[in-house]
């Protein structure tokens, strides 16, 4: 029996019975006084309709037929209808159903049976449409996941959004002009229709629905403009306040956003200027110290050489010291000159297709004696096949020379240093890792500063320009040189395209 009512024929039969019962009961409820004096036929029809309606309700409770009236295939099409249009369609169908239900012309029709059949046909159609829309709308309304999106895509909301966007692109002066014009027209029309109570009521409604909201909007815009003006004056006087709140897409919102960007630019410029001043002071101090020390030694030993009582051995010893210090001085001056050229970008790269692995091996070969003397164990990992990159070989050799030299100068004795070369995603990646013998700053940017030394006491040799020069060279090659510090672990990663 349950299968019978779930079939298409069973659903249609139930819909016919329900339409007859519901329309009969609605008609009796709406127009019972009008038809109370009619023939017994009216009462028989009404009572019969009530009985049929009760039976269909019991069948629905048992077999859940209503849910099958609205097929799932049609639901996807129904969801394409804007939400507010769906509400209007449902409301129109409900009204049409009520109007169709209370029609009783067939009581006076030439043939009662024929009139009743025509009436039932109309009632079945409107009730079927009403039930189907009601089911679809209920499912759509209770689907909270998509209800918000449905409402945002409603025609009314889209229209209001269009109006808002339209006014958002109108200048503030135009908005104020429109507002004042609306005030003027309202006053003019109110004066001309003052004695007409009907028109006055309409004007009052228009005043509260249009003029008052427009006045509030203008007041808010003026207040927002004043905030922007105060903020701009504060920035002009050097006081950097928190960012202005940016709401919407109006001209004032765009102005507030621009002022926020300008303020952040000023703040960044001030920070950069302060950092530049600090670096300039440190640069002068470091340059003075690093140049003065070997220069003082050269001057002192040159003075000693003037002593006629010096033995030949002492004289040669002093000359050797002067030679070492002069070479040290030359290295400092050359590095300073190189760093200045790199910073200015006044460097021409001579690019060639170079085997990076072979270039690294050559750089390591230059340090063979130093590596043998040190207690640092170097571990070199690279593929057997050549890894090529289009670079300036001499400049890249300088990068490797600086980084290998830093490992030898600043590593903890009796530790390992790792150098890895690999190719990934058309990039050559070279990694240098060692354990630092000196405490490293957590501020990575400071390690790239000029004359920055791993040994802050400056007892080790070197200009402190190695990392700064190396980074500048890699930047000129449009690559990256990144530093990673974790405690005493010092890691440099170079990526070249």
Cα 144 from Cα 150, distance rounded (Å): 10
What pLDDT score was predicted for residue 457? 43
For position 468, which CATH number holds?
3.30.565.10
Residue 94 lies in a domain: yes
The verdict on 371 and 475 lying in the same domain is: yes
The verdict on 82 and 192 lying in the same domain is: no
Residue 207 lies in a domain: yes
The verdict on 79 and 186 lying in the same domain is: no
Residue 312 lies in a domain: no
The verdict on 97 and 175 lying in the same domain is: no
Q: What is the 3-state secondary structure (H, E, C) of the chain?
A: CHHHHHCHHHHHHHHHHHHHHHHHHHHHHHHHHHHCCCCHHHHHHHHHHHHHHHHHHHHHHHHCCHHHHCCHHHHHHHCCCCHHHHHHHHHHHHHHHHHHHCCCHHHCCCCHHHHHHHHHHHHHHHHHHHHHHHHHHHHHHHCHHHHHHHHHCCHHHHHHHHHHHHHHCCCHHHHHHHHHHHHHHHHHHHHHCCCCHHHHHHHHHHHHHHHHHHHHHHHHHHHHHHHHHHHHHHHHCCCCCCCCCCCCCCHHHHHHHHHHHHHHHHHHHHHHHHHHHHHHHHHHHHHHHHHHHHHHHHHHHHHHHCCCCCCHHHHHHHHHHHHHHHHHHHHHHHHHHHHHHHHHCCCCCCCEEEEHHHHHHHHHHHCHHHHHHCCCEEEEECCCCCCEEEECHHHHHHHHHHHHHHHHHHECCCCEEEEEEEEECCEEEEEEEEEECCCCCCCHHHHCCCCCCCCCCCCCCCCCCHHHHHHHHHHHCCCEEEEEEECCEEEEEEEEC
Residue 216 lies in a domain: yes
Instruction: For residue 21, count CB atoms less than 10 angstroms from its CB and return exposed for 0-12, middle for 13-18, buried for 19 or more.
Output: buried
Residue 287 lies in a domain: no
Residue 19 lies in a domain: yes
Domain boundary among 156, 180, 198: 156
The verdict on 88 and 123 lying in the same domain is: yes
Half-sphere CA count of 315, side-chain side, radius 13 A: 8
Domain boundary among 122, 156, 190: 156
The verdict on 130 and 229 lying in the same domain is: no
Q: Name the pTM for this structure.
A: 0.45
What pLDDT score was predicted for residue 166? 54
Residue 83 lies in a domain: yes
What pLDDT score was predicted for residue 151? 76
Residue 382, domain extent: 347-496
> How many domains does the chain fold into?
3
The verdict on 127 and 213 lying in the same domain is: no
pLDDT along the chain (497 residues), means of 10: 52 62 59 49 58 64 60 69 80 75 54 60 71 75 75 74 58 60 64 54 61 67 72 75 71 77 79 72 67 82 84 86 84 74 73 91 90 92 90 89 90 93 91 88 59 44 67 87 88 90
> Within a 10 A sphere around the Cβ of 285, how many other Cβ atoms?
11
Residue 434 lies in a domain: yes
Domain boundary among 156, 183, 200: 156
What pLDDT score was predicted for residue 456? 47
The verdict on 419 and 473 lying in the same domain is: yes
The verdict on 232 and 368 lying in the same domain is: no
The verdict on 28 and 68 lying in the same domain is: yes
Cα 58 from Cα 79, distance rounded (Å): 31
The verdict on 210 and 76 lying in the same domain is: no
The verdict on 92 and 131 lying in the same domain is: yes
């Amino acid at each position: 029996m349950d299968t019978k009512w779930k079939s298409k024929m069973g659903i249609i039969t139930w819909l016919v019975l329900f339409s007859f019962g519901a329309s009969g009961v609605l008609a009796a409820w709406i127009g019972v006084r009008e038809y109370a004096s009619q023939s017994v036929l009216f009462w028989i029809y009404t009572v019969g309709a009530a009985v049929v309606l009760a039976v269909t309700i019991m069948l629905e409770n048992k077999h859940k037929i209503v849910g099958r009236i609205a097929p799932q295939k049609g639901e996807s099409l129904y969801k394409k209808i804007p939400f507010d249009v769906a509400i209007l369609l449902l409301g129109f169908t409900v009204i049409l159903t009520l109007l169709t239900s209370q029609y009783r012309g067939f009581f006076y029709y030439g043939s009662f049976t024929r009139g009743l059949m025509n009436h039932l046909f109309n009632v079945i159609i409107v009730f079927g449409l009403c039930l189907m829309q009601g089911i679809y709308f209920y499912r759509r309304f209770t689907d909270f996941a998509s209800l918000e999106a449905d409402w945002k895509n409603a025609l009314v909301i889209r229209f209001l959004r269009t109006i808002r966007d339209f006014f958002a692109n109108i200048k503030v002066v135009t908005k104020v002009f429109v507002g004042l014009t609306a005030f003027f027209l309202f006053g003019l029309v109110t004066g001309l229709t003052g004695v007409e109570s009907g028109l006055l009521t309409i004007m009052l409604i228009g005043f509260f629905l249009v003029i008052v909201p427009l006045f509030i909007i203008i007041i808010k815009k003026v207040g927002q403009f004043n905030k922007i003006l105060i903020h701009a004056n504060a920035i002009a006087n050097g006081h950097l306040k928190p960012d202005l709140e940016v709401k919407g897409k109006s001209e004032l919102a765009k102005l507030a956003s621009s002022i926020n960007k300008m303020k952040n630019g000023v703040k960044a410029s001030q920070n950069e200027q302060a950092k530049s001043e600090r670096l300039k002071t440190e640069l002068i101090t470091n340059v003075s110290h690093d140049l003065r020390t070997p220069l003082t030694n050269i001057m002192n030993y040159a003075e000693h050489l003037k002593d006629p009582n010096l033995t030949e051995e002492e004289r040669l010893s002093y000359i050797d010291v002067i030679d070492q210090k002069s070479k040290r001085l030359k290295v400092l001056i050359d590095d300073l000159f190189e760093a200045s050229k790199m910073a200015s970008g006044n460097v021409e790269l001579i690019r060639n297709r170079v085997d990076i692995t072979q270039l690294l091996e050559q750089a390591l070969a230059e340090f063979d004696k130093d590596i043998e003397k040190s207690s640092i164990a170097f571990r070199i990992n690279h593929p057997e096949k050549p890894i090529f990159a289009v670079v300036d070989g001499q400049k890249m050799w300088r990068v490797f020379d600086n980084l290998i030299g830093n490992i030898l100068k600043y590593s903890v004795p009796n530790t390992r240093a790792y150098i890895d070369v690999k190719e990934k995603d058309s990039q050559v990646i070279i990694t240098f890792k060692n354990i630092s013998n000196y405490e490293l700053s957590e501020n990575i940017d400071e390690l790239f500063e000029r004359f920055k030394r791993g040994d802050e006491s400056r007892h080790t040799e070197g200009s402190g320009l190695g990392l700064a020069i190396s980074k500048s060279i890699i930047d000129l090659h449009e690559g990256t040189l990144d530093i990673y510090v974790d405690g005493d672990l010092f890691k440099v990663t170079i990526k070249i395209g």
